[in-house]
Amino acid sequence: MKNPIYGFCMVIFPIFVVYFFTSLMNNGLPTDMPVGVVDLDNTATTRSMIRHLDAFQTTKVVAEYNNVNEARQAIQENKIYAFLYIPRGTTDGLMTSSQPKISFYYSNVTLVAGSMLFRDLKTISSLGSASVGKTKLSSFGKTDDEIKTFLQPIAIDLHMIGNPWSNYNIYLSTVMVPGILMLFIFLLTPYSIGTELKFKRSKKWFAMAGNNPWIAITGKLLPQFMIFLTIFYIFEFYIYYILGFPHPGGVFTMLLLGFLAVVSAQGFGVFAFGLMPSLRMSMSICSLWAVVSFSTSGATYPAFSMNPIIQELTNLFPLRHYYMIYQINIFNGYPLMDAWFSISALILFALLPIFVMGNIKRAMLLYVYIP
Amino acid sequence: MEKNEGLLNKILNGLRDMCYIWAKEMRSTITDEGVLIFFILVPLGYPLLYSWIYNNEVVREVPVAIVDQSHSQTSREFIREVDASPDTKVAYYCNSIEEAKDLIGKQKVHGVLYFPKDFATKLFRSEQAHMSLYCDMSLMLTYKAIYQTAQTVASKINSNIQISKSKDYTNRDDEITTKPLDFVEVPIFNSTGGYGNAIIPGVLILILQQTLMLGIGLGAGTARESNRYKDLVPISRHYIGIFRIVLGKSMCYFMIYSIMAAYITMCVPRFFNYTMLASGIDLVGLMVPFLSSVIFFGMALSCLVRYRENVMLLVIFTSVPLLFMSGISWPQADIPGVWQAISYIFPSTFGIRGFLRISSMGGTLSDIQPEVTALWIQTIVYLFLTCAVYRFQINNTRKHAYDKIENLKKKAIEAKNKNKKTEE
C-alpha cells in the first residue's frame, strides 16, 4: 500500500468526481441559456412577446440580429442555441386576421439545450395565439372561466414522479458517479493482484496464505473493500441526505445497493484477472468494460431503444444492474422483488471469481511478469 | 565559413538523430502489445461499438399504460391518437392507478395516462376537463417522448373542440380561430433530435485524445521500466538534444494518429450515417492543432509516470468528466466558472466543441476561430513544457550516469588501495 496511486484512486479521485458532478449540475436545470431574436416587425406586440420569452427561467434573450442568416451564423459560432424569427407584418396580420406566421429555430446539437429551448419557444408561440383569442373573446363579454375552457378544453396535469423539477443533477449524478467509483474498483482490483506478480512478490504473498488462493485474495481485497464501501456510503449519504436527492426506497436498500455495487465490481475485477493473468491485458479489458458501461447502463439513452443484440449484452455490465436497482427500488421506492433479476445478476458477478481461482493460483506461483 | 558548416552539420546531425528516434519509437509502438492495443485496436474498434449502441438515435414506441375511467368517445380518441403516435404506444389498459403503478415498477411501462370519471361529462358541460399524466422520471428521453406526445394529441383534440364550438363558415375561418398566429418549428441542426448524432462526435474526439494519451503514457512507462536507472531517456549518442527527442517521438505519434483521426472523423460517421458537414480542409485545420496539442500534453504528463499501469488509472476515469466539461451534454453556458477554467487545460474541450460545430452545424474554420486559436496556444505551451520536462529528464539521466561512473571510479581506487595494502 506504499504506492501513492492507491490513495489517489481510492480516496482523492473519487471525492473529486463526486464533487465534480454534483457541483457541475448544481442548478438542476440549465438556466438563462442564450437565445437570439430576429424581429423584423418591431412593434409593441412583438416586443412584449420577446420580453415574455426573456422572462422564462431557461431562456435569456442575448442579441437581436438583422436577418436569419446572421442568427444562423451566431449558432454556428456558439453564441446562441436558438432564435425566434418574427417577419415584417406579423402584427398587421394579427389585426386583420390573416394568420401571420412566425418561426423559431433551435439547435439539437446540445440535446438538453435544444429540448428546453424548444419548450420555451413553443410556449411563447402558442401564447401568441392564445392572447389574440383571449382579447377577442373578452370583447364578446365572455368570463375568464369561459375563455380558459374555450382555449384549452382538455388540460393535462403532469405528474413527474420522484423528480418534479426534472432536475438533471438527480438524474445524472446518481448513475455517473457510481459508474466512476465502480470503474476505480474494476481497475484497482486486477492492478493490486497483478502488481504482486510484476514485482515478484506473488510467491511470498501466497506462502503467507498457506498457498490457499481464497485466503490470499480475500486478505488482499478486504482492506480495499472496506475503503471502497466507506467511500460509496459517504457518496450516498452526501447525495441523499445533504443534497436531499429523492430516496423513497429507504436506508436498507441504499446500504444493500452500495454493498452489491462494490462486491460485484471486485468480483468482476478478479474474474478478469483470472481469465487473463496478465496485468496489462486484464486492466485493458476492465477499463474498456467500465467505460462502455456508461452507455450500456441505459441511464441516458434507454436500453430498450438499442439494437436487440446490444439490449441483451447490456446484462453483462454491472452498472446496468446498478441503475435498474437504483431507479426501481431507491428512486421509485418499489419492493426489492421488482428488481430480483438485477439483484441476482450483481450477486452472480460477485461470485464469478469461483471459476478462476485455480487459474489465479497457477499464475501466481508459476507465471513470470511479461511487460 | 567554418562556423557555418558547423551549424549545418549540427542541424543535419539533429535531423538524423530525430529520424533515428522516430524509427525506434515506431518499432517499439508496434512491438509493445499494450501500446498497440490503445494506439491501433481501440481507436479502430471503439467508435464502431459506440456508434452501434447509439445508432437507433431516437426513442420510439415508449410503452404507456392507460387508466380510462371515463370510457367516453373523446377519451378513446385520445388513446387511439397516443397509440398511433410514433414515439409512444399503448401497452396496457388498467382498472386503477395502483395497477398501473405496479407496471412501472416492473418496467413494463414508463408512463400512465389517467382519464377521470367526469372527463367527458365536463367537456359536454363546457367546463375544462382535466386528465393526468404520470411519468417515470428515471429516464429523461422517455419522459420527453410521452409528455410531448400527450401535449400534441391534446392540442389537436382541443382545436377540434374549438372548431365545433365556434360559428365559422369556411375552413379558413376554422384555421384562423384555432391558430390566429401560426408558427413553424425548425430544428435547424441535428434535425432529428437524435441522441447518437448529438453525443457521438464528442465521443469520437475524446477517444482520439484518451487513446493517444494512454499510448504515450504506456510507452513512457515501458521505457522507464526497461531502463537501468528507471530514467525516461536512455543513454545513447542519439539522445543528446531535447528537440530531437521531442520532435522525433511526436513525429511518430503524429503519423499514426493522422491516419486514426482521418478514419474516426471521416469513415466512422459515414459507416453509420451520422451528420457530417465538415469539409476536408476545415477538418485538417482543426485536427492538426488538436493532435499536436494532445501529443505534447501527453508527452509532458508522461514524465510523471513511474509504472506503466498507473497511466490507465489516471487517464481512464477522466474520460467521463472531460466529456461533460466540453459542454456536449450539460450546456456550456451553464457550466460553473471554475470548471470552465479547468476545462481550458485539456485539448479535448476545444477539440470537441470545434468538431461539433464543423461536423454537425456545417460551420467553417472561421466560425471556430477561437477554438483553433486555443488549440494552437495549447500546442505551443505544451511543446515548451515537454521540452522543459525532457531537459530535466536528460539532466537526471546524465547525473545518474555520472554518479554511476564516479561510483565505479571510487570502487576502482578502493580496490587498487586494497591491492596495494595486500601487496605490502
Domains annotated on chain B, with CATH: 2-54+192-408 (no CATH), 62-178 (3.40.1710.10)
Mean pLDDT over B126-135 rounds to: 93
Contact B161 A154 (CB under 8 A): yes
Residues of A in contact with B33 (CB under 8 A): 280
Compute CA B110 distance to the chain's CA centroid, rounded to the nearest angstrom: 29
Over its C-alpha atoms, chain B yields an Rg (Å, rounded) of 33
CATH numeric code, A33-151: 3.40.1710.10
Query: Cell triple for residue A140?
Result: 364578446
Over its C-alpha atoms, chain A yields an Rg (Å, rounded) of 28
B179: closest chain A residue by CA: A129
Q: Which of A78, A276, A328 to mutate to test the interface with B (most CBs of B within 10 A)?
A: A78
Contact B58 A310 (CB under 8 A): no
* Range of weakest confidence among A171-180, B139-148, B387-396: B387-396
Q: In terms of DSSP H, where are the helices of A159-317?
A: 168, 174-198, 202-208, 213-237, 251-275, 279-296, 308-313
Query: Cell triple for residue B334?
Result: 451553464
Helix (H, G, I), strand (E, B) or coil at A359: helix
Residues 6+ apart with CB under 8 A from A84: A35, A36, A37, A38, A39, A50, A53, A102, A103, A104, A121, A124
Dist CA A242 CA B16 (whole Å): 62
**Residue ranges of chain A whose pLDDT lies below 70:** 1-2, 367-371
**pLDDT grade, residue B204 (50/70/90)?**
very high
**pLDDT grade, residue B4 (50/70/90)?**
low
Q: Which of A305, A329, A336 to mutate to test the interface with B (most CBs of B within 10 A)?
A: A305
pLDDT at B2: 45
Contact A106 B188 (CB under 8 A): yes
Nearest by Cα to B252 from B1, B25, B55, B67: B25
Q: List phi, psi (to 5°) of A96.
A: -95, 10
Nearest by Cα to B339 from A170, A20, A176, A14: A20
How does pLDDT run across A245-294, given as a tens digit for each residue? 999 988 999 999 999 999 999 999 999 999 888 888 888 889 989 999 99
B1 pLDDT higher than 60: no
B61: closest chain A residue by CA: A305
Query: Cell triple for residue B168?
Result: 365559422
Q: Is B189 left (phi over 0), alpha (psi -120 to 50) or beta?
A: beta
Parallel, antiparallel, or unpaired: how do β-strands A82-86 and A154-161 relate? unpaired
Sequence spans of domains, chain A: 4-25+167-366, 33-151
Dist CA A360 CA A352 (whole Å): 13
Dist CA A263 CA A225 (whole Å): 7
Find residues 87-106 of chain A whose CB sits inside 8 Å of chain B: 90, 94, 97-106
End-to-end Cα separation, chain B, in angstroms: 60
Touching check for A21 and chain B: CB below 8 Å?
yes
Nearest by Cα to B105 from A333, A251, A312, A162: A333
Helix (H, G, I), strand (E, B) or coil at A368: coil
Touching check for A291 and chain B: CB below 8 Å?
yes
Angstrom CA distances, A9 to A16, A218, A232, B34, B317, stand at 10, 20, 13, 21, 9
Q: Do residues A288 and A356 lie in contact, with contact meaning Cβ atoms separated by under 8 Å?
A: no
Residues of A in contact with B186 (CB under 8 A): 103-106
Query: Cell triple for residue B358?
Result: 464543423
Mean pLDDT over B124-137 rounds to: 92
Touching check for A135 and chain B: CB below 8 Å?
no
Query: Cell triple for residue B72?
Result: 367516453
Evaluate the CA torsion angle B92, B93, B94, B98 in order and state its sign.
positive
CA distance B23 to chain A (A): 21
Contact A34 B142 (CB under 8 A): no
Query: Cell triple for residue A196?
Result: 504482486
A166: closest chain B residue by CA: B137
For chain A, the average pLDDT equals 90
Q: Is A157 exposed, middle or buried (0-12, 13-18, 19+ CB in 10 A)?
A: exposed
pLDDT at B98: 93
Residues of A in contact with B60 (CB under 8 A): 305
CA distance A115 to chain B (A): 9
Residues of B in contact with A102 (CB under 8 A): 181-184
Touching check for A139 and chain B: CB below 8 Å?
no
pLDDT at B346: 94
Helix (H, G, I), strand (E, B) or coil at B387: helix
CA distance A123 to chain B (A): 11
B113 pLDDT higher than 90: yes
Of B105, B199, B309, the CB nearest to A279: B309
Q: Which of A111, A165, A188, A253 to mutate to test the interface with B (most CBs of B within 10 A)?
A: A111
What's the one-letter identity of residue B76?
R
Nearest by Cα to A155 from B177, B86, B122, B167: B122
Q: Specify the DSSP element, H or E, that contains B57.
A: none
pLDDT > 90 fraction of chain B, expressed in percent and rounded = 50
Touching check for A312 and chain B: CB below 8 Å?
no
Query: Cell triple for residue A171?
Result: 438524474
B221: closest chain A residue by CA: A371
How does pLDDT run across B298-352, given as a tens digit for each residue? 999 888 777 777 888 888 889 999 999 998 888 888 899 999 999 999 999 999 9
Q: Is the ipTM of this complex over 0.95?
A: no
pLDDT at A369: 60
Q: Do residues B357 and B368 lie in contact, with contact meaning Cβ atoms separated by under 8 Å?
A: yes
Instruction: Please tell me which of A357-361, B120-124, B169-173 the model is most confident about, judged by mean pLDDT.
Output: B120-124
Q: Dihedral angle at the C-alpha atoms of B277, B280, B286, B292, nearest 10 degrees? A: 140
B424 pLDDT higher than 80: no
CA distance A55 to chain B (A): 17
Neighbours of A12 (CB within 10 A): 11
Nearest by Cα to A121 from B183, B198, B149: B183
Residues 6+ apart with CB under 8 A from A77: B357, B363, B367, B368
Query: Cell triple for residue B140?
Result: 429523461
pLDDT at B99: 93
Dist CA A63 CA A65 (whole Å): 7
